[in-house]
Structure formats: C-alpha cells, structure tokens
Amino acid sequence: MQSEPITKYTAFPPVPMATRQWPDRTLTRAPIWCSVDLRDGNQALAQPMSVDEKLEFFDMLVRIGFKEIEVGFPSASQTEFDFTRRLIEGGHIPGDVAIQVLCQCREDLIARTLESIRGARNVIFHLYNSTSPRQREFVFNLPKKEIVAIAVRAVEQLKRDGRALTEAGTRIQLEYSPESFTSTELEFALEICEAVTDVWGPGPSDKIILNLPATVEYATPNVHADQIEWMCTHLTRRDRTIVSLHTHNDRGTGVAATELALLAGADRVEGTLFGNGERTGNLDIVTVALNLYTHGIHPRLDLSDINAIRDVYERCTRLEVPPRQPYAGELVFTAFSGSHQDAIKKSMPHQKPGRPWDVLYIPIDPADIGRSYRAIIRINSQSGKGGVAYVLEHEFGFHLPKLMHKEIGRVVNAMADASGTELSSAEIKEAFQREYLERKAPVALEHFKTTERDSTVKCEARVSVDGKPHTLSGSGNGPIDAFVRALGSAGLPRFDVTSYSEHSLGSGAEAKAVSYIQIKMERGSAFFGAGIDTNIELASIKAIVSALNRAMRPSK
C-alpha cells in the first residue's frame, strides 16, 4: 500500500444536490425484479451452465415468481442462441413472463438477436453501449456525439427490423443501458438516454426501460442514490420510463446502494440469486427481497423454501453459498455466543402468533423461508448455559430446571474446550446422558420397591457401592424420603433433597418420565441428578442415585 499522503487514488466526486429527497423517504413496495443469473451470472462462472442446467435454473426462477428473466446474449455464441430457441420452441416461457436478451449496439448482433427471439410472446430487448469518459477515450476513441449516434442507430434498427416480429405477435420492450453509467457525466448520461427515448417513442402503457448500471462500484451508496434521483428528476418523460438499477458489489455495498437508489425513485432491480457475478459479484436479489420482507413489504417473490433454491443454485453453478451469506447461509440462524443463546432462549417463548416477529438476534423467522429452528443454537467452547439447555429442550425434549442450566453448561463447555471444535446436537445429548443418566458408580441401583401404610411409605432397595452389595430399607413420607433414609444405612455421605421436578418424555403409551433432583451435601455443595423410567417413582429414585454419584466422583 502507498504510504500517506495517498496520491494514487482520489475520492469519487459527490453530486451537487441541495434538494435531494431520498433520505426522508421510506420503502413501501417491492420493485420490478429481473434476474440476470442466466447471463451476467453465467458469464462469471469458471464452467458456464449447460443448456439443460440453464433450463433447470430458468424453471426455478419462474417458480420463485420472476416475471422478467434475462436469458442470455444470443448473438455471443451458439449455446446462448440455442438456449433462447429452446425456451421458445419448447414452450417453457409462461405467458406472464418476459425473457430479456442482451445485445450490443451493433448491426450484425441486433439482427442475430432478433432471429433468436422469433416466436416469443414477451421480450425485453436490452441494448447497451459504453458511455464513460475512459471508455470513450481508451476503448472507442470517439467523441460524445458519436457515442450517442451508436445508440440511436441501434434503436432505429431494432424499431425497423423488429416490426415483422411485433406484427406476428411478439411484444418487444426496449431496455437501454448507458454502460458504466455511474462513471459517466450525469449530463451526458441524460443526453444519450433522452436521444434513445426520442427514437423509440414509448407510451404510458409501453414504457421504455432505462437501466442505469453501476458496472463497477466506485462510489458510496449515498452518491449512487444521488445519481439516480438526479436522473429521475431530469428525465423529460419520467411517466413513460421505468428506471432500472444494476449494481455490482466491488465495494461490498451493492445491497445498500440498491436500497438507497430505490428510495431515490428507481422502479426496477436487476441482480442475481446470492449475488453471483463478475469480480465481487452482482447485486444479491435474495438479500434485498428478504430485507423488504422483514420490514413488512412482500417482495413478490416466493423464497419460502430457500434451501431448495440454494440446492439448485449450487448444483447448476458449481458455487457454494457462503455460510455467512444473509438468510441462506448455513450459519446465519446460529448463535455461538453464550449470551446470545441465552437471549434467544428467553425471547422465544414471548413470540406469540399474530404478533410482530421480535426474537432477539434473529431478524426473520427462519420458518418463513424454510429454515429449521434446530440450527439456531450451535455449541462450542464459547457457548453458555442457555444454548445447551435450548438444544436439550427443543431437540430432545428435556426441560431442565433453570438451576441445572449452569451445571450442564459447564459440562458441555469443558467437553467443547477439550475437543477444540463445535459440538453437534447428538454430542450434546450424549454428554448429558453420560453425565446424568448412565452413571453406575460408585452407587448402582439394582432393585427398588415401596409399600404404603397409614400415610407412611416404606421402601426396600438393593444397591451396590463400589461393587459391594447392600440390602436397604427405610421409611418416610414418600418414596424419595424413604430412599434417602435407607441410603444412610449403607455408610454413604449424608445429603438433603433441595429440589425436585419431573415431566413426561414423549407421548402415548410408550412415553417415559424424566425426573430432576438436586441434593445438597453436608459440606454445602449441591448437585443435580436425572433419571428416566416408564415409572415416575422409579425415575425419581434413579435421579437421586445420579446426583449422589456425581457428588461422590473423584475430584480432578
């Protein structure tokens, strides 16, 4: 990197606007969406999609609800041409969906593209040419006047040569892009857009699409919004124009730039699922759409099974959705932090049907997009007691007493710390079983029976202590009290039962009971135990043995 002062780079110039309106506006509706996955996204793949893969992807986009889909660059290759023909001839395009085809402002390419769309019902013909000062200077070596002439001649040809198709029943809507719009002088961008509009002659019901791309993202999102608002307020036929956005993500702010530009007056958004595209990618339509959804605006796209969408995307593109990708990433509904886990667990019960979603740390209900609550809590050495308790409750049905959360949290965290990795739900359950349910030493319960007479319960029990058998008996005001008294005759440490709770585990005839008991030793330390049995009485006796074994384990 260059040391200070930095002279290699300069700040992007702001747009002088004293009366900008977008900062005070609020989004109230979804834009028109256009997926460019099959063109912009496809060209950025190391291995472009085959015709069959593009067809599968197209069908998925239709199911999601896209009404405008850029299907390719038919004049660029035979594969692109063949795919367009297959869509049309195979009857894959619903009547309410327009296919979009991209074409440079060149006579031969326009002719080839018109050939590719023969027989289609609704077509957006997307013409573009570069307009920025550096493109004019380095690539075309042409003045502004000649750059405008290139665009005008292309639109004249399309209008003239496309007449045969329109007379045969094809509706052709013009989309024009001054490529690298955000790097073009606003006055010149307006001039060329006005010239194109003059030639095409749009009407109120047959609007022209003026696509204003951030082909490379150079500026901050607020400057992009200013550029869009400036264009919206200076277009002479704004009521006959659909202002479209096409942002890239070079600065990592493509979503923000799009959202602010929608506030600035744009009507339409081009992008790709999960942001695939050249360099750092195109706009991520899924993120913008679900951002709208979390603000109470339906995006008019069906993203209710985001996992299935992701599966098709990954299979066809051979790319992977990053684990932290908003909404669709594997880890976006997880919490490793103990304090976050605890907050999620405590806020979940307050989420009632019909009330606005307000669960801490989770801005959208995962179920709305087909994600599972099971993945919300993930456990590693940084996790807390709340997260462990959440997993045991929501995945395995163990409703641990609150005082027990800290105890099991320490057990699982020590296990995660020793392994150095995240623990799966199954590993957490195994740790709980080893610690509480499977302890057989030093005390092992072999037999237990009670009888009741005159409100007094008498128990008979057989236990082994360090392998030595003991036959015990005791009386008390209940089975637990009687068993505790009986254990005193075996020479075991004295203790008191300080808390007891139980619940069913499962339902129906096969349901078991689980008991949780806390005991307090004479020296003051307290330990929980747990027991499971089809007999609730026996489950509580097993819980006492569990707690006692935990209290008597050798200290490390």
Condensed to tens digits (0 to 9), the pLDDT of residues 240-284 reads 999 999 999 999 999 999 999 999 999 999 999 999 999 999 999
Per-residue tokens: 417: 């710390």
- Cα(120)–Cα(88) distance, integer angstroms: 6
327 domain-assigned: no
Q: Residue 136's Cα: distance from chain center in Å?
A: 41
Whole-angstrom distance, CA of residue 424 vs CA of residue 429: 9
Mean pLDDT value across the chain = 94
What type of residue is 532?
I
Structural domain includes residue 103:
yes
Same domain, 520 and 419: no
227: pLDDT strictly greater than 80: yes
SS3 387: helix
pLDDT of residue 68 exceeding 60, the answer is yes
- Residues 278 and 386 reside in one and the same domain: no
Provide the percentage of residues in the chain whose pLDDT is more than 90: 84
Secondary structure element (H or E) that encloses residue 192, with its range? helix 186-200
- pLDDT tens string 91-141: 999 999 999 999 999 999 999 999 999 999 999 999 999 999 999 999 889
CATH number at residue 150: 3.20.20.70
- CATH number reported for the structural domain that contains residue 517 in this entry: 3.30.160.270
- 48 and 159 assigned to the same domain: yes
| Lowest-confidence pick of 311-320, 410-419, 530-539 | 410-419
Alpha helices in 351-468 (DSSP H): 385-396, 402-419, 425-432
Residue 310: inside a domain: yes
Q: What is the dihedral of CA 26, 216, 145, 109, to 10 degrees?
A: -110
Q: How many CB atoms are located within 10 Å of the residue 309 CB?
A: 24
List, for residues 294-311, the tens digit of each pLDDT value: 999 999 999 999 999 999
Residue 109 shares a structural domain with residue 95: yes
Among residues 190, 268, 177, 185, the alpha carbon closest in space to that of 236 is found at 190
Q: What angle do CA 328, 334, 336 make, to 5 degrees?
A: 145
pLDDT given for residue 377 in this prediction: 59
Adjacent-strand bridge partners of 476: 457
Mark which of 437, 452, 472 sits at the end of a domain.
437
Higher pLDDT, 207 or 377: 207
Asked whether residue 495 is domain-assigned, the answer is yes
- Domain with 286 in it: 32-317
Give the end of a domain, one of 317, 351, 381: 317
Are 71 and 38 contacting, i.e. CB atoms less than 8 angstroms apart? yes
Confidence (pLDDT) at 375: 46
N-to-C CA span, the chain:
53
- 58 with 145, same domain: the answer is yes
pLDDT, position 257? 98
Joined together, the tokens standing for residue 481 give 């009290």
Max mean pLDDT range (287-291, 369-373, 387-391): 287-291
pLDDT at 373: 52
Residue 17 domain-assigned (yes or no): no
Q: Which of 454, 441, 469, 467 is nearest to 545 (CA)?
A: 441
Instruction: Supply 485's token pair.
Output: 């008294």
3-state secondary structure of 452: strand
Task: Check pLDDT > 50 for residue 19.
Answer: yes
Q: What is the mean pLDDT of residues 47-71?
A: 96
Q: pLDDT band for 210, please (50, 70, 90 cuts).
A: very high
Cα-based distances in Å from 279 to 351, 447, 497 = 41, 71, 65
In whole angstroms, what is the distance from residue 404 CA to residue 425 CA? 18
Got the DSSP string for 47-105?
SPPPHHHHHHHHHHHHHHT-SEEEEE-TTT-HHHHHHHHHHHHTT-S-TT-EEEEEEES
Same domain, 81 and 223: yes
**Residue 15 domain-assigned?**
no
Predicted TM-score (pTM) of the model is: 0.78
Q: What is the DSSP string of 497-554?
A: EEEEEEEEES-STT-EEEEEEEEEETTS-EEEEEEEESSHHHHHHHHHHHHHHHHHSP
- Asked if 392 and 507 sit in the same domain, the reply is no
Q: What's residue 340's pLDDT?
A: 86
- Count of the separate structural domains present in the chain: 3
Eight-class DSSP state of 460: E
Residue type, 113: T
Q: In this structure, are residues 533 and 542 in contact, taking their beta carbons and an 8 Å threshold?
A: yes
Could you list the beta-strand ranges (E) of 118-262: 122-130, 171-179, 208-214, 241-247
Query: Which among 534, 419, 552 is positioned nearest to 493, based on CA atoms?
Result: 552
For residue 20, tell me if it sits in a domain: no
Residues 282 and 150 in one domain: yes
Strand order in the sheet with 495-505: 495-505, 512-521, 526-533
Residue 376 lies in a domain: yes
The closest alpha carbon to 182, from 299, 124, 264, 274, belongs to: 264
Question: pLDDT tens digits for 167-193?
Answer: 999 999 999 999 999 999 999 999 999
Tokens of 5: 């002062």
For the chain, give the percent of residues with pLDDT over 70.
Answer: 98
pLDDT at site 378: 64
Task: Quote the DSSP letter at residue 186.
Answer: H
Mean pLDDT of 498-521: 91
pLDDT mean over 427-435: 94
Q: Does 396 lie in the same domain as 305?
A: no
Model confidence band, residue 506 (pLDDT cutoffs 50, 70, 90): confident
Q: Is the pLDDT of residue 384 over 90?
A: no
C-alpha to C-alpha distance for 229 and 312, rounded to whole angstroms: 37
Together in a domain, 432 and 449: no
Task: For residues 246 and 357, state if they share a domain.
Answer: no
Query: Which domain-ending residue is among 388, 412, 437?
Result: 437
Residues 293, 195 share a domain: yes
pLDDT category, 423, cuts 50, 70, 90? Answer: confident
